[in-house]
């Protein structure tokens, strides 16, 4: 296990997490499409087959329901499978297995059958991908009781969230923001923190709170930086764990500023962003000087590359929403 | 590829005992010995009793619904008896008799249909997966269990059950293919009872038989008379042995018939005639075994009385168990969703507890 | 076509709608599992094969992705398929076809390929069904841009919504609340109204607004009736069309009362109910005397029959939520 | 069932022209006539040029990505040439050359990879479905289109393409089964190029061949040398004729090879050696046809020059078309989601328009 703090990209941090988990626990198995010799189309599983052998990290036939369904069986039988869905939209063929089995097996069996498994889903846009490669599909999973759903926004969180996800006795849908794969940052793998279920304040601020997760956190931080120059102090909360949700941290942040904007890339309708607005409003109503605003993707299929920038929450759009938080009167 | 013809199933389903209860001459497989057949007969009788008792409990309003395998007990018995202790069974909603034959308490099995909870038994106790409702999905779990066992070097074989209708689902395909590619020790045992609710086999496939589906996975398909207990036993024994020996997954199709409606809620007269059903009465698996075993003088009147008594005791225990008030606590709703309830669930549990306490004081 | 007003159950109204649509338009085809000679497990397609022949209403092999995928092709080629998913959870195998094709084809092809098709989904609980037969799955569809999602709460709406859904040039996910199948009510099939996209005020009221849809509308109405006796006047809005959403009607209702409760049976997290809370709050913030409350299913898999009543929004729970709307101060 | 062996594919893939470009003696199917072969050769050359031009455009940064069928042009040509005017083609992302051979403007086809929009051509203009990315999903659409045509009494046949990897998906199974049960006039044409990105065929199936997958649907499978243009034409012609004649769906597996990486973004050296690739150079479909046609003196130097010129013209038009500024308007984002935008989308479109107008004035 690496113990030093090193600069790693999120892809490298995820690879390190898999490597460390496989070293520590021989019941951890990694499989999916192209995760073997190729190391995955994003190289997250790079070198694992070479290091741990073909049994521990292997390619499957091309069938996502098969991958998840087989993982269910292996998890029933003492393993901790970590499977990769190649892209967000290519996890949909596995939806029945995820909704009807992965999510429900513990409950169906009165707690007798646990499914300690992780489904890794590279998701969201920002990389100029063609259709079916850029969906923000987190709401489908977050709405499904029984699933833990997390999404990192930094290499360090990627490492620790994945380690904890693999250690969890519950199934975890692990959403990886593709556009953050290559950005490097400090990761001290020897300084663990338990991030599942815990939001984190990424930047303090006093005037309004930006609530973001995954691919939108960096945009929110940028917006906060610019707002600072314009004399407005924005707090940024990284939700990190969509299920369970950290009401305490998020609500404390919102109450401290009285104004909030939720930022998420997914289409807004019936989304995780809707949920955050709803629960923050329910819990912090009398602290709110303005309705909580959303900056989300439009309710359209993910656009072609040349138009994708209009779908992604932008710094300007976030700042516009902040401007809209009824600063004058009320 | 010179031997791809070997993948084709036999032209006729394997039969060891014909419809009159007489051994078939020149049968392809050895006849199981009398001891095994007597055990099988006992299991058939109990299976039938379990089926009919459960149906009666539905009529009495004590169970919501019951998909009976009445008439398919040879398959149910065979599926359970083919297993060694360390093996796994992956049953469907219709396979209660097999689950019971494997050793699970029928009352626990019926928890689902009594409405107390979903899967009512401990899957690890007898290595029986929860009865699957979403069709064909369990076949993939079976492959996973088998693959995990193989990776650990265990000699576990997994028996995965499904119906004719379920073979049309994508998961059927993916399961057989994964099993074949990974040489997972799974026996896929399809009970072709000619109907998927109202839909007849002809609407399900244009293949000469369901066993032919093995060919596309490089898996030999085998056909068996599903109402012929010795044949089912012999074919499944051979399939289990092959899977255990590392020959990879096996596909067995049993030709049988769903004697009753899909469930009590179904009206079979809308889609099939009594004339179609009638001839199957004569092919009843119990009858056939009884005739044979009586003729062989293995089955005496005293033995029959013993077995009937045993079956009645099972039925009585079912009635008693089902009559018991086993209402689950509302708090259990939140107990098993995660290993530890989330803060959100704790909140919701508290909300419900408060609501109930206020209800109580009203 | 029936022209008189008659008492019909919702099941009969749906059957009549299919019958009338098939009579009127020979490109309407009905298929799915057991919809032929059996007439569907809920008898919604009763008699259609006999009346229109085996080509027009037929059973398929048992495969939901196949059913929806084949419908996509037929819709591409001049037909208006209406397919039945036997139960809510058994539509999940078709999720990829629905999310990646049904929802996206018009957009993918720049408007060149329309998919005039209807996916009927009997959903929700209240009938003592065992596991996998009672999911409230509307959020999965409502979150997916490109789908129209509607759900009737009366036989008349069932009739007109289904007629309009079949006539629509867009794919419609038609969610049928199973527990309402057998309740009878007046249906005047000669008095059409265009209900897609239109919410309706089911009961006027002045103190607070209950916003409900599908299986929860009748419960909301019951609650309003009891509240009336207790001296509180509750307005009930039936959303009816989840996508498109009738912001105008819903917001007008909420503004007129200043207080609101959203009632829905689905698990609350990241649900349609979250969306309604979020959008109503965004749009009506300064008319609100209290945060909009939700009465939804818990975030648990649908319970076994003996416990299902605890999951369903009840009259008491609705009234408790209304009591909670901070009537004293603020 | 006496004839289930007839469902098995031939032991060897059908070959009409061997690797040296010589006609195979005693071939199972008639050799296409020279005129057809000349047309096919022209199409091969254009297909190759389209492939290589598109790859070059990727290297120049003008296309995001291109999954090339370089080396598979015999299949691409065959798939298009086997169609009558009223027939439909259901291609994948790798079948650009087939789509072009069917008559679609390559620039329109490349709209997707240029990033302007998703499907860039009108599917009804040439009866070519949008190129499918989610694997095997399009096979079901093909069945639906064919079934609708059959219901209307049209004699349309649908050619549905997929790769070896896609055969593992549940939708492949459901599509073949639906087609067989409904006798839908579909030819399923699998281009087995031995890889699904990095995953070799052996990890995809344990069957003797992919054509064997037909057996499980009661569908005869046929194998063809996918680099042998005359054989591909002959086999597809026969399959199309059978489907058109009401004999139900057909399955054809072409044995070919993906000569290049999955796309330019792929690094094939991670999973296969150059030694594996090299022998396939000699099996190049263009080379083989050229040798044959030259020997037959159908292909003269002048003809070759003509054809090359034609192909160069296509390539030039591609370069020109791709160079054109065809940036889509942001407002289009909301135009095609529904037949009429919802009030919500109107609101969102207005929001974006406002944002853009403010951007403009900043
Ligand atoms: C994925 C899925 N789709 C639909 C159903 C509804 N359903 C339950 S049983 C059944 C018929 C199954 O037929 P078959 O596989 O032949 O088994 P049998 O009931 O005859 O034992 C159907 C359609 C289901 N349970 N799961
Ligand atoms: C449902 C789905 N899963 C995964 C992918 C990602 N993917 C794209 S191409 C490909 C390999 C396909 O191989 P094959 O079917 O042999 O076609 P080829 O690329 O060789 O032409 C994969 C895994 C996808 N497009 N769709
Ligand atoms: Mg059956
Ligand atoms: Mg391939």
ipTM, 2 dp:
0.98
Which of C26, C33, C69, C102 to mutate to test binding with chain D, by most D CBs within 10 Å of its CB? C69
Comparing alpha-carbon positions, the chain D residue that sits nearest to C55 is D151
Query: Which residues does a 6 A CB cutoff place in the pocket of ligand 2?
Result: A 33, 62, 86, 90, 93; D 94, 133-135, 162-166, 193, 195-197, 258, 262
Interface size A-D, in CB pairs within 8 Å, comes to 112
**So what's the pLDDT on residue C189?**
86
Structure tokens at A241: 């764990």
Task: Quote the CA–CA distance of A247 and A198 in Å, as a whole number.
Answer: 9
Q: What is the dihedral of CA A164, A167, A172, A173, to 10 degrees?
A: 60
pLDDT grade for A330, boundaries at 50, 70 and 90: very low
**So what's the pLDDT on residue C4?**
59
> Which residue of D1, D169, D248 is in closest CB contact with B208?
D1
The answer to whether the Cβ–Cβ distance between A33 and D199 falls below 8 Å is yes
Ligand 2 atom 17 nearest Cα: D163
The answer to whether the Cβ–Cβ distance between C300 and A140 falls below 8 Å is no
Ligand 2 atom 21 nearest Cα: D163
Of ligand 2's listed atoms, the one at least distance from the Cα of D191 is 21
Known catalytic residues of B are: 258, 262, 271
Give the minimum alpha-carbon distance from D169 to chain B in angstroms, rounded to a whole number: 7
Q: What is the pLDDT along chain C (330 residues), one digit of tens a residue?
A: 445 578 999 999 999 999 999 999 999 999 999 999 999 999 999 999 999 999 999 999 999 999 999 999 999 999 999 999 999 999 999 999 999 999 999 999 999 999 999 999 999 999 999 999 999 999 999 999 999 999 999 999 999 999 999 999 999 999 999 999 999 999 998 877 778 999 999 999 999 999 999 999 999 999 999 999 999 999 999 999 999 999 999 999 999 999 999 999 999 999 999 999 999 999 999 999 999 999 999 999 999 999 999 999 999 999 999 999 988 643
Q: List chain B residues with CB under 8 Å of D182.
A: none
The answer to whether the Cβ–Cβ distance between A197 and B343 falls below 8 Å is yes
Q: List chain B residues with CB under 8 Å of D181.
A: 203-206
Known catalytic residues of D are: 258, 262, 271
- Portion 146-185 of D in contact with A at CB < 8 A: 165-166, 168-171
> Which residue of D174, D215, D248 is in closest CB contact with B212?
D215
Cα–Cα nearest to B54, from B307, B265, B308, B315: B315
> Which residue of C132, C282, C292 is in closest CB contact with A100?
C132
Q: What's phi and psi for A25, nearest 5 deg?
A: -135, 110
Task: Quote the CA–CA distance of A1 and D292 in Å, as a whole number.
Answer: 62
Higher pLDDT, D112 or C190: D112
Of ligand 2's listed atoms, the one at least distance from the Cα of D196 is 13
Of ligand 2's listed atoms, the one at least distance from the Cα of D262 is 19
C143 an active-site residue? no
Q: How many CB atoms lie within 10 A of CB D246?
A: 10
Largest CA distance in chain A: 65
pLDDT grade for A141, boundaries at 50, 70 and 90: very high
Stretch(es) of chain C classified as CATH 3.40.50.970: 5-188
Of ligand 1's listed atoms, the one at least distance from the Cα of B166 is 15
Q: What mean pLDDT is predicted for residues D214-228?
A: 97
Model pTM score:
0.98
Structure tokens at D120: 């860039």
Using a CB–CB cutoff of 8 Å, tell me whether C197 touches chain B. no
Ligand at minimal distance from the CA of C64 is 1
Angle at A84 between CA A27 and CA D171, to 5 degrees: 120
Which class is domain C200-329? alpha beta
The answer to whether the Cβ–Cβ distance between A293 and C282 falls below 8 Å is yes
Q: Is B99 in the pocket of ligand 1 (CB under 6 A)?
A: no
Q: List chain D residues with CB under 8 Å of A316.
A: 355, 359
Q: List chain D residues with CB under 8 Å of B212.
A: 4, 7, 215-216, 218
Using a CB–CB cutoff of 8 Å, tell me whether D330 touches chain A. yes
Q: What mean pLDDT is predicted for residues D182-204?
A: 98
Please report all neighbours of C, defined by 3+ CB atom pairs within 8 A: A, B, D
pLDDT above 90 covers what percent of chain B?
96
**So what's the pLDDT on residue D77?**
98
Please report all neighbours of B, defined by 3+ CB atom pairs within 8 A: A, C, D
Which of C68, C110, C143, C285 to mutate to test binding with chain A, by most A CBs within 10 Å of its CB? C143
Q: List chain C residues with CB under 8 Å of D344.
A: 243-245, 247
- Residues counted in chain B: 362
Cα–Cα nearest to C213, from C134, C136, C309: C136
Whose structure tokens read 């072009």? D100
Please report all neighbours of D, defined by 3+ CB atom pairs within 8 A: A, B, C
Mean pLDDT of chain B: 96
In this structure, whether the domain defined by C5-188 belongs to CATH 3.10.20.740 is answered with no
**So what's the pLDDT on residue A3?**
52
Query: Ligand 1: distance of its center to the CA of C33 in Å?
Result: 9
Query: Ligand 3: distance of its center to the CA of D362 in Å?
Result: 68
Of ligand 1's listed atoms, the one at least distance from the Cα of B193 is 20
pLDDT grade for D360, boundaries at 50, 70 and 90: confident
Q: What's phi and psi for D21, nearest 5 deg?
A: 85, 15
**So what's the pLDDT on residue A68?**
98
> Which residue of B198, B333, B359 is in closest CB contact with C298?
B333
Whether the predicted pLDDT of B355 surpasses 70: yes
CA-CA distances (angstroms) from residue A172 to A115, A117, A249, B129, B335? 9, 6, 21, 22, 18
Whose structure tokens read 């293949």? B207
- Residues counted in chain D: 362
Q: Is B166 in the pocket of ligand 1 (CB under 6 A)?
A: yes
Whether the predicted pLDDT of B155 surpasses 50: yes
> Which residue of B5, B204, B219 is in closest CB contact with D8?
B5
Comparing alpha-carbon positions, the chain A residue that sits nearest to B175 is A66
**So what's the pLDDT on residue A268?**
98
Angle at B224 between CA B220 and CA B225, to 5 degrees: 165
pLDDT grade for A328, boundaries at 50, 70 and 90: low
* Kind plus residue range of the DSSP H or E element containing A15: helix A10-24
Q: List chain B residues with CB under 8 Å of C46.
A: none
Stretch(es) of chain A classified as CATH 3.40.50.920: 200-329
Q: What's phi and psi for C213, nearest 5 deg?
A: -155, 160
Select which of C101, C133, C143, C286 is catalytic.
C133
Task: Quote the CA–CA distance of B128 and C129 in Å, as a whole number.
Answer: 23
Whose structure tokens read 């022949």? C53
Whether the predicted pLDDT of D201 surpasses 50: yes
């Amino acid at each position: 296990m690496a113990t030093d703090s090193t600069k790693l990209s999120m892809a490298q941090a995820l690879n390190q997490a898999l490597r460390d988990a496989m070293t520590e626990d021989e019941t951890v198995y990694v499989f999916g499409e192209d995760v073997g010799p190729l190391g995955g189309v994003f190289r997250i599983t790079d070198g694992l087959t070479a290091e741990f052998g073909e049994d521990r990290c292997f390619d499957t036939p091309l069938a996502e329901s098969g991958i998840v369904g087989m993982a269910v069986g292996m998890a029933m039988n003492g393993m901790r499978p970590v499977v990769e869905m190649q892209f967000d939209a290519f996890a949909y063929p596995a939806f029945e297995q995820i909704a009807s089995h992965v999510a429900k097996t513990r409950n169906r069996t009165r707690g007798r059958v646990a499914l300690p498994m992780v489904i890794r889903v590279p998701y969201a846009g920002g990389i100029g991908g063609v259709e079916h490669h850029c969906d923000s599909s987190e709401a489908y999973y977050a709405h499904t009781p029984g699933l833990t759903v997390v999404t990192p926004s930094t290499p360090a969180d990627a490492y620790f969230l994945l380690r904890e996800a693999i250690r969890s006795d519950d199934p975890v849908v692990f959403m990886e923001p593709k556009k953050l794969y290559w950005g490097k940052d400090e990761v001290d793998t020897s300084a663990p923190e338990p991030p599942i279920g815990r939001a984190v304040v990424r930047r303090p601020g006093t005037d309004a709170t930006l609530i973001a997760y995954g691919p939108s956190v960096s945009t929110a931080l940028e917006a906060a930086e610019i707002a600072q120059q314009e004399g407005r102090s924005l707090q940024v909360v990284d939700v990190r764990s969509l299920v369970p949700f950290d009401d305490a941290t998020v609500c404390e942040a919102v109450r401290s500023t009285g104004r909030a904007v939720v930022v998420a890339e997914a289409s807004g309708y019936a989304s995780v962003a809707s949920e955050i607005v709803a629960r923050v409003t329910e819990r912090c109503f009398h602290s709110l000087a303005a309705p909580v605003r959303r900056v989300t993707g439009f309710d359209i299929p993910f656009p072609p590359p040349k138009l994708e920038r209009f779908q992604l929450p932008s710094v300007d759009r976030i700042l516009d929403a902040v401007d809209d938080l009824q600063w004058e009167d009320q | 590829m010179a031997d791809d013809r070997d993948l084709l199933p036999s032209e006729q389903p394997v039969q060891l005992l014909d419809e009159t209860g007489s051994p078939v001459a020149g049968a392809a497989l050895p006849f199981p010995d009398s001891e095994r057949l007597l055990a099988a007969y006992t299991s058939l009788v109990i299976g039938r009793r379990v089926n009919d008792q459960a149906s009666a409990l539905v009529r009495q309003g004590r169970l919501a619904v019951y998909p009976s395998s009445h008439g398919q007990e040879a398959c149910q018995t065979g599926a359970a008896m083919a297993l060694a202790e360390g093996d796994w069974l992956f049953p469907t909603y219709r396979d209660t008799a097999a689950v019971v034959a494997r050793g699970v308490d029928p009352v626990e099995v019926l928890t689902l249909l009594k409405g107390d909870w979903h899967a009512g038994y401990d899957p690890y106790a007898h290595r029986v997966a929860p009865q699957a409702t979403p069709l064909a999905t369990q076949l993939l779990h079976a492959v996973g269990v088998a693959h995990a066992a193989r990776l650990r070097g265990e000699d576990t074989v997994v028996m995965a059950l499904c119906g004719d209708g379920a073979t049309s689902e994508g998961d059927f395909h993916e399961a057989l293919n994964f099993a074949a590619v990974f040489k997972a020790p799974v026996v896929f045992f399809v009970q072709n009872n000619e109907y998927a609710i109202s839909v007849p086999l002809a609407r399900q496939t244009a293949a000469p038989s369901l066993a032919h589906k093995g060919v596309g996975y490089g898996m030999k398909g085998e056909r068996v008379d599903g109402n012929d207990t010795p044949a089912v036993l012999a074919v499944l024994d051979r399939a289990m042995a092959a899977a255990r020996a590392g020959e990879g997954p096996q596909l067995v199709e049993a030709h049988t018939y769903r004697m009753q409606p899909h469930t009590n809620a179904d009206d079979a007269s809308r889609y099939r005639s009594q004339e179609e059903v009638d001839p199957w009465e004569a092919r009843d698996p119990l009858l056939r075994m009884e005739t044979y075993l009586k003729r062989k003088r293995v089955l005496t009147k005293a033995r029959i009385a013993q077995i009937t008594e045993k079956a009645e005791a099972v039925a009585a225990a079912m009635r008693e168990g089902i009559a018991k008030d086993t209402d689950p606590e509302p708090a259990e709703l939140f107990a098993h969703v995660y290993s530890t309830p989330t803060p959100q669930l704790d909140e919701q549990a508290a909300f419900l507890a408060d609501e109930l306490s206020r209800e109580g004081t009203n």
